[in-house]
């Protein structure tokens, strides 16, 4: 009999959580067995399927991941940095794989994720869109060709509920450019401009952040030089595209016992 992989969703009733559940529920390779929601949510203990308007799937929502630790194989976490770090500790302790989509980690937290990946398999990406990851793949070649003669700007636009800035995706794009140029991103970034800022410095990546409405996510990388400007843009029109990427990540991580991976690894670009 084929083994069905058990999935836990942390933040099951969040925007991404709902979409992930509906997507994964249709896949015969996986069973959603754990659905974690906020402690203050009155729907704790209710059937997940009924809440989401799909058939009764006999999974009751809960607020304690550790209590359900024996009931899943892989945790999907698109929550916040503090919750994800607590979940990381549990998954490392009990040898559970993780797919992390949370953004806003500091350097120390990212290092802890990398250290934990020596014990468990972790896919960590700021963006699970296939399109964004294709852009990451071509960005290295474009950077090598254009950066010596161009000013680099990264613009991002998200909904008014997003709490971190610049977005994790914008930083991921910036990191790709910086790594290609053998730069440290923190030493070559401009995050604020105000007042008489003077002439634009060279070898810098400028970040611009826009927040408003219900925009899911838009990113543009600009290489501006004398006589021409190259722009690469990606616009997300719905969150299903991220769920599609997570599903590919789930199937890929099944073959891994430990290690630190991203969506470029998953897509084998």
Domain CATH code at residue 151: 3.30.360.10
| Domain identity same for 12 and 114 | yes
| Domain identity same for 232 and 249 | no
**Which residues form the catalytic set?**
158, 162
The pLDDT value given to residue 168 = 92
For residue range 53-96, list pLDDT tens digits in order: 887 778 999 999 999 999 999 999 999 999 999 999 999 999 99
| Domain identity same for 64 and 115 | yes
Confidence of residue 268 (pLDDT cuts 50, 70, 90): confident
What is the percent of the chain with per-residue pLDDT over 90, rounded to a whole number? 87
How many structural domains is the chain composed of? 2
The pLDDT value given to residue 1 = 55
The pLDDT value given to residue 26 = 85
For residue range 211-249, list pLDDT tens digits in order: 999 999 999 999 999 999 999 999 999 989 999 999 999
| Domain identity same for 9 and 26 | yes
| Domain identity same for 230 and 251 | no
Angle between helices 240-253 and 130-146 (to 10 degrees): 90
Residue 213, domain extent: 130-236
| Domain identity same for 76 and 186 | no
| Domain identity same for 164 and 176 | yes
Spatial separation of the C-alpha atoms in residues 150 and 17, rounded to whole Å: 40
Q: Is the link from the previous residue into 166 a cis peptide, with omega within 30 of 0?
A: yes
For residue range 156-191, list pLDDT tens digits in order: 999 999 999 999 999 999 999 999 999 999 999 999
């Amino acid at each position: 009999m084929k083994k069905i992989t058990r999935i836990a969703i942390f933040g099951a009733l969040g925007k991404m959580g709902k979409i992930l559940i509906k997507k994964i529920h249709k896949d015969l390779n996986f069973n959603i067995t754990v659905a974690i929601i906020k402690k203050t949510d009155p729907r704790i203990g209710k059937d997940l399927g009924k809440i989401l308007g799909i058939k009764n799937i006999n999974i009751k929502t809960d607020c304690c991941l550790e209590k359900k630790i024996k009931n899943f194989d892989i945790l999907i976490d698109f929550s916040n940095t503090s919750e994800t770090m607590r979940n990381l500790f549990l998954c490392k302790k009990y040898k559970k794989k993780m797919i992390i989509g949370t953004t806003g980690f500091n350097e120390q937290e990212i290092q802890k994720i990398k250290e934990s990946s020596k014990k468990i398999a972790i896919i960590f990406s700021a963006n699970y869109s296939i399109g964004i990851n294709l852009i990451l793949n071509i960005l290295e070649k474009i950077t090598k060709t254009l950066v010596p003669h161009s000013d680099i700007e990264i613009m991002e636009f998200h909904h008014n509920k997003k709490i971190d800035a610049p977005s994790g995706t914008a930083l991921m794009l910036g990191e790709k450019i910086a790594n290609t140029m053998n730069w440290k991103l923190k030493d070559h970034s401009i995050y604020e401009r105000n007042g008489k800022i003077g002439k634009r410095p060279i070898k810098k990546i400028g970040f611009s952040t826009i927040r408003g409405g219900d925009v899911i996510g838009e990113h543009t990388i600009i290489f501006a030089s004398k006589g021409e400007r190259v722009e690469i843009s990606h616009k997300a029109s719905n969150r299903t595209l991220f769920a599609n990427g997570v599903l590919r990540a789930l199937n890929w991580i099944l073959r891994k016992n430990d290690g630190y991976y991203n969506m470029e690894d998953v897509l084998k670009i």
